[in-house]
Structure formats: structure tokens, C-alpha cells
Amino acid sequence: MTETTTGAWDEARCDGTPEDARNRRRFAVWCLAWAAAFVAATLLLDGGVVPPGAATWVVAVAPSLIGLAAIRSYVTFVRGADELVRRIQLESLAWGFGAGVLFQMGYRLLERAGAPTLDLNDGLLVMVVVWAAAQLAITRRYR
């Protein structure tokens, strides 16, 4: 039975402590920045707007630098997180990573059996979607 309470701690019941919620938001902002940079770089490179040479490489590498900052913010979030939140993240990552690898390897066999050929990014998508879904499911389990 869940006790209802009021205040900042109750508000944060799904996000861990208020500090966890702040770190999670910071991570989300970095992820959005990375996604925006990735889309922008793709459009620039595909559109032939960037002059050939060093500029092309700068545009291609820039999103990954933002991605590194996103990884760093996630590590900061996990390191400082409430221990239950850390547990939820660990289990979610295990599901996400496992599903991604399984899909990537398993689908190679399905392709040989006649399934349509998929892009390498599809395995990464499975990884991220399962990681996100597992967070929701596991958080609910501990509620």
C-alpha cells in the first residue's frame, strides 16, 4: 500500500530525489541538443552546403562532442542517484543492451532466412526503446 504525502519528496516519487530529477532533466536537455545537432549536421552534409575539406569534418564530428556531454551528464546522474533509481537504471540498461544485441545478432539470421534487410541503426533503436520502456515498467514494479 502506498502512502500519500505532500511536498517535494512526494513530487519526486518517480524521479528519485529532487537532485536526481534535476540531473535527469539535464541529461534530457543534452540528449535533445545532441539530436538537434545530429539532424542539423545530416541536413548540412546531405545538402552539400558545407564546403569540402576541414569544414565537412568539423560538421560531422560536432554532434558527437555534444553526445559525449550527454553521456557525461548521464554518468553524473547515475553516480549521484538515489540507490533505488540506480537499481532501476541498471536493470533497464541490462534489458536495453541485451535486447539490442539480441536483435542485432538474431536479425542477421532472419535476413539469411529471407527477412528484409535492415539498417544497422535499427538495432540501436531497439536498444533505446527497450531501455526507456524498461525504466517505466521497473519503476512501476517498485512503486
Q: Of 83, 99, 93, 80, which is closest to residue 142 (Cα–Cα)?
A: 83
Among 20, 89, 92, 135, the residue binding other proteins under the rule CB under 8 A is: 20
User: Of 16 and 63, which has the nearer Cβ to other proteins?
Assistant: 16
Binding flag, residue 9, other proteins (CB under 8 A): yes
Task: Decide: residue 99, CB within 10 A, 0-12 exposed, 13-18 middle, 19+ buried.
Answer: buried
Site string for other proteins, 64-103 (x = CB under 8 A): ------------------xxxx-x----------------
Residues 6+ apart with CB under 8 A from 134: 91, 92, 95, 96
Among the candidate windows 15-23, 63-71, 100-108, 127-135, which touches other proteins by CB under 8 A? 15-23
* Distances, alpha carbon 79 to alpha carbons 19, 29, 94, 124, in Å: 12, 18, 17, 24
Task: Kindly state the number of chain residues that form the binding site for other proteins, as judged by CB under 8 A.
Answer: 23
Residue ranges in contact with other proteins by CB under 8 A: 1-3, 5-7, 9-10, 12-17, 20, 82-85, 87, 141-143
